[in-house]
């Protein structure tokens, strides 16, 4: 999930915990207007520091993952060529 889509999840968690926006904003030390815009995913670029404070106030955490780009056709072709070449060397060396 991207950070820009996190606002809706925060809203769901806040409602599930029966917290008002005002109370969560106070607990997380963010402004009420910032929290409202964040929950509405209003095209803002939220600061990670504020997002983490809100998540902490809700008892949630965030995990970062690294997404490797998909290999290109050329990458796959080269990988297959390397594997074929190493197979040939393996066969020759076992003779």
Model confidence pLDDT, tens digit, residues 32-73: 999 999 999 877 778 889 999 999 999 998 887 777 778 787
31 SS3 class:
coil
Token reading at 73 = 């056709």
- End-to-end C-alpha distance for the chain, whole angstroms: 52
Q: Is the pTM of this model over 0.75?
A: no
90: tokens are 């393996």
Q: Residue 87's pLDDT band (boundaries 50, 70, 90)?
A: low
């Amino acid at each position: 999930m991207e950070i820009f889509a996190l606002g809706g999840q925060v809203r769901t968690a806040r409602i599930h915990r029966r917290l008002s926006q005002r109370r969560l904003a106070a607990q997380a030390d963010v402004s009420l207007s910032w929290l409202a815009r964040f929950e509405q995913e209003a095209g803002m670029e939220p600061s990670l520091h504020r997002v983490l404070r809100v998540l902490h106030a809700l008892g949630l955490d965030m995990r970062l993952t690294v997404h490797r780009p998909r290999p290109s056709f050329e990458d796959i072709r080269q990988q297959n060529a390397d594997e074929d070449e190493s197979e040939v060397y393996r066969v020759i060396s076992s003779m």
